[in-house]
Structure 1
Amino acid sequence: MTDWLEILKQETATGERMEREVPDMLAHPDISEEQVRTLFAALDKQAEFAEKLKQALEKFGHDFPVIIAAERLEERYADLAAIVAEKLKAMRA
């Protein structure tokens, strides 16, 4: 049986780490457009995974606070992807 709560816990820790690291990555003067595109794709994929995780938690009847935590995780990844998309847009301008 899949331990959805453990997956949420691990993903939340990863999301928190990414929230700290992504701004530093984007601020690095030598970051390339390809690296930014790759970072965007990874964050977008994580946002999609977080959405699926939230759906699984809902399906298996987890409590509302657990669902809220999954929603926050999804939002965190979506927000980070948006920040990266803005950097990519600025690099192309």
Structure 2
Amino acid sequence: MTDWLEILKQETATGERMSREVPEMLTHPEISEQQVRTLFSALEKQVDFAEKLRLALEKFDHDFPVITAAERLEERYADLAATVAEKLKAMRR
């Protein structure tokens, strides 16, 4: 059986790390448009995965705090993706 709580724990740790690393990456003077596009694509996949994780947790009737943690994770990845999209937009000007 899938350990959804362990997956959430691991993904939350990854999301926290990415929240620190992504802004640093975006300020690097030599980051290329292709690298930013690749980062955006990866974050979009994380948003999709976090949504599927949240839906699975809801399906298996996990407690409200667990669902809330999954929602926060989904929002974190969506916010990071939006930040990267803004950087990409700025690079194209």
User: Is the shorter-chain TM-score for this pair beyond 0.5, marking a shared fold?
Assistant: yes
Match of 2:48, SS?
helix
CA distance in 1, matches of 2:44, 2:76: 11
| Counterpart mapping for 1:5-84 below 5 A | 5-84=5-84
How many corresponding residue pairs? 93
CA distance in 2, matches of 1:51, 1:71: 8
TM-score, normalised with respect to structure 1: 1.00
What amino acid is aligned across from residue 89 of structure 1 in structure 2?
K
TM-score, normalised with respect to structure 2: 1.00
CA distance in 1, matches of 2:78, 2:61: 24
CA distance in 2, matches of 1:23, 1:56: 30
Write the deviation string for residues 15-42 of structure 1: whole angstroms up to 9, x where unpaired.
Answer: 0000000000000000000000000000
Unmatched segments (≥5 aa) in structure 1: none
Unmatched segments (≥5 aa) in structure 2: none
CA distance in 2, matches of 1:13, 1:23: 17
CA distance in 2, matches of 1:13, 1:79: 16
Q: Shift of the alpha carbon at 1:3?
A: 0.1
How large is the Cα RMSD of the aligned pairs? 0.2
CA distance in 2, matches of 1:41, 1:71: 20
